[in-house]
Chain A
């Protein structure tokens, strides 16, 4: 599904401000997998996501999605950004925001509207379609952003610290929402987070990045009983063990000299 081969990214190469964000990163994600990528703050997670999405071109190595080299954003790829308030369009209603990317899917207005309503329903936002983003709470705005991605029916959904700007309770709700919708839609999800517990709770697999320049320092399979539950999963011995393991990997390579 997703193949990352010896990826490197350097900002401002040759200048005094040169910053090596990623160096020699290899990663492959199987179809239908939910992969969580964790790493210390500022380790180049967002750079990695932007390289996969084709928003920036890597300075070295390559990214392939469904076997095709990524030059611009691949056809069936959607992104949920952390900053929902600046990713949703404030001048459009919730339904229009969700339906916007469907124009190029060759759907007529009615079909777009129906797809938007369906996506909104699946994120628990029926009845909010006429509202504007600013009339919703932060958590609900992020639901709208998720609905927009779902309506687009991507085969690969990238989520860039999607729950970084919401409160703890909403965060748990949204984590469960992601687990729920992945069951309904056949898609691969790559979720970037700095929250170790979240990565273990949500992921089928957790990849740990080093501090910048980022490369993979840990790759763990998460084999927790399904369906996952905020209380019982988090007290499961395997969960406790895994989060400690991931924590050690993140800590070990995050130590600032």
Chain B
């Protein structure tokens, strides 16, 4: 009986600020769209006034995007053949590269983070590897893998593995000492400790690394498609449009990449909020 009273109290207090927060959220969203609309309008006006062939108006760009990629049949989500042949391969490369790099980063990060000694020995090397800008290494990858898909995937994986690895290692090292003592007292096995305690402890930092890796994977995916030996992809369309002086198509690719980056980040945040709900809530002061 006492127990229920103890639970109910904080819940009741929390309700009112939550409604206020929701109102604030609605207002923020409205303003966000307003700012976007104003900026696009300014862009439209500026490009019309300038009348330069290098800077087509947003209207022209959107029309071009629609004609080039989104004029397909409804049962294919309006994707045109060009879209299927370019956007999907790009997303596929990015997905495989991200998945491979993220998995390697998490596994290696946990391995490094579990041993203080290994971490101390490798920290400098890892920071060095992370600091090297991936495009600078592209020739190395070309030598090893040649042109083509294998090289692109390896390149994306290599580029994104470092932020994931370092953040995961950091997270795995920062496990609450009392949690580890609790594991010791209740004699959890190594596997249980790793899977049920160290991994969840490392999740918040791991997600910070994964989010960096996601935006980085879009960048290096496009970069890998700018190289010779590519026959499709958004990056390929970008260079092709440029070489044929098709500036609206070039701008269309740029805008599409921006939109994709934004959407991927939003999806990531939704996933993070689901997985790390306990973390956000636990950070808030208890009433």
The answer, among A89, A134, A137, A140, for a CB contact under 8 Å with B281, is A134
Known: A100-B186, A100-B196, A104-B188. A136 touches B7 (CB 8 A): yes
Query: Closest residue to B189 on the A side, CB-wise?
Result: A104
A127 near B3 (CB under 8 angstroms)? yes
Q: Is the interface of B mostly helix, strand, loop or mixed?
A: helix
Complex contact A73–B278 (CB within 8 A): no
Contact residues of A between 38 and 90, Cβ < 8 Å to B: 53-55, 72-73, 75, 77-79, 81, 83, 86-87, 89-90
B19 on the interface (CB 8 Å rule)?
Answer: no
Quick one: which of B6, B184, B197 contacts A55, CB cutoff 8 A? B184
Residues 1-56 of B contacting A (Cβ, < 8 Å): 2-4, 6-7, 9-10
What's the nearest-Cβ distance from chain A to residue B280, in Å? Answer: 10
Q: When the two chains form their complex, are residues A134 and B6 in contact, meaning their CB atoms are under 8 A apart?
A: no
Is the CB–CB distance between B186 and A101 below 8 Å? yes
Q: How far is the CA of A45 from the CA of B144 in the complex (A)?
A: 62
Instruction: Give the secondary structure class of A's interface.
Output: loop
CA distance A206 to B269 in the complex (A): 54
Known contacts A127-B4, A136-B7, A140-B6; decide if A87 and B184 are in contact (CB<8 Å). no
Given A53-B185, A124-B2, A173-B2, CB of A134 within 8 Å of CB of B179: no
Inter-chain contact A134/B186, CB cutoff 8 Å:
no
Chain A, interface size: which category?
A: 35 or more
> Could you tell me the distance between the alpha carbons of A79 and B182 in the complex, rounded to whole angstroms?
8
A55/B185 in contact, CB under 8 A: yes
**Once A and B bind, how many residue pairs between them come within 8 Å at the CB atom?**
89
Chain B residue, CB-CB nearest to A137:
B6
Q: How far is the CA of A127 from the CA of B5 in the complex (A)?
A: 12
One of A78, A132, A140 near B3 (C-beta < 8 A)? A140
Complex CA distance for A53 and B3, rounded to whole angstroms = 31
Per-residue A-contact encoding for B193-214, CB less than 8 Å = 1, 0 else: 0001100100100000000000
* Bound form: Cα–Cα A173–B197 in Å: 31
Interface presence of B176 (CB below 8 A): yes
Does A125 sit within 8 A of B, measured CB to CB?
yes
Q: For A92, what are the chain B residues with a Cβ–Cβ distance below 8 Å?
A: 196
Give min CB distance, B172 to chain A, whole Å.
14
For the complex of A and B, 9 pairs with smallest distance between CB atoms: A101-B186, A91-B200, A90-B282, A134-B282, A86-B178, A79-B185, A91-B278, A137-B6, A87-B178
11 contacts between A and B (CB under 8 A): A72-B187, A73-B184, A81-B182, A89-B179, A89-B182, A91-B279, A104-B188, A124-B2, A127-B4, A132-B281, A140-B6
Where the two chains meet, the residues of A that have a C-beta atom closer than 8 Å to any C-beta of B are 53-55, 72-73, 75, 77-79, 81, 83, 86-87, 89-92, 100-101, 103-104, 124-128, 131-140, 152, 173
